[in-house]
Amino acid sequence: MVQRALVLLCVGCMAVFMSSCGQTYELQSITISPTAVSLEGGGAQQAFVVTANYSNTKTNIVTVKSTYQIGVPTDEATNPLYNQASLKLTQSGIVEVVGVTCTWTTTPTTTGTTTSYSYGTDPYILTATYSEGSKTVTAIALVSVNNAAGVCYDPTNPHP
């Protein structure tokens, strides 16, 4: 009787353990962090991390397994000044500002009778893509590039 109970207990335990073997969890989405950055001047860098999210709530870092693309904002795609900005992107998810960035978004600030201007860009769009099995998912982050003071403009004579 005891021997039979032990056998049933062992079979029951094996059934529980075996039922979890071979379970697959589906890739649901990826996230990229940080989701928005602002870089200033040539040589500025930012590392991004891509995380795969699965249906069992588990996660996995897939930064080096992802592919990347940088695009300009849709409303700026025809702006020739964006061609002067150059962002370099490595396979390990690091974005670097290279060259001089002279793309203009003007923000005036008035203090008393003095008006000064700051310049930057509408954000570039960083798209990360990760594929696993037959599923491909994407996520985006925004990369703004601000000009270092004096590089592309004279604050007393703002460029339109």
**Band (48; pLDDT cuts 50, 70, 90):** very high
How confident is the model at residue 2, as a pLDDT?
A: 61
How confident is the model at residue 75, as a pLDDT?
A: 54
How confident is the model at residue 26, as a pLDDT?
A: 93
Range of the domain at 127: 22-146
- Asked if residue 11 belongs to a domain, the reply is no
- Asked if residue 28 belongs to a domain, the reply is yes
**Band (28; pLDDT cuts 50, 70, 90):** very high
Are the C-beta atoms of 121 and 145 separated by less than 8 Å? yes
- Asked if residue 114 belongs to a domain, the reply is yes
- Asked if residue 39 belongs to a domain, the reply is yes
Percent of the chain with pLDDT over 90: 29
How confident is the model at residue 43, as a pLDDT?
A: 82
CATH number at residue 55: 2.60.40.10
Give the count of domains, the chain. 1
Burial of 124 (0-12, 13-18, 19+ CB in 10 A): buried
Greater model confidence, 41 or 106: 41
- Asked if residue 159 belongs to a domain, the reply is no
Closest to 52 (Cα-Cα) out of 137, 125, 127, 126: 137
How confident is the model at residue 89, as a pLDDT?
A: 86
pLDDT of 76-90, one tens digit each?
A: 555 555 544 577 888
pLDDT of 84-137, one tens digit each?
A: 457 788 888 899 887 655 555 556 677 788 776 665 556 788 999 999 999 999
**Band (160; pLDDT cuts 50, 70, 90):** very low
- Asked if residue 86 belongs to a domain, the reply is yes
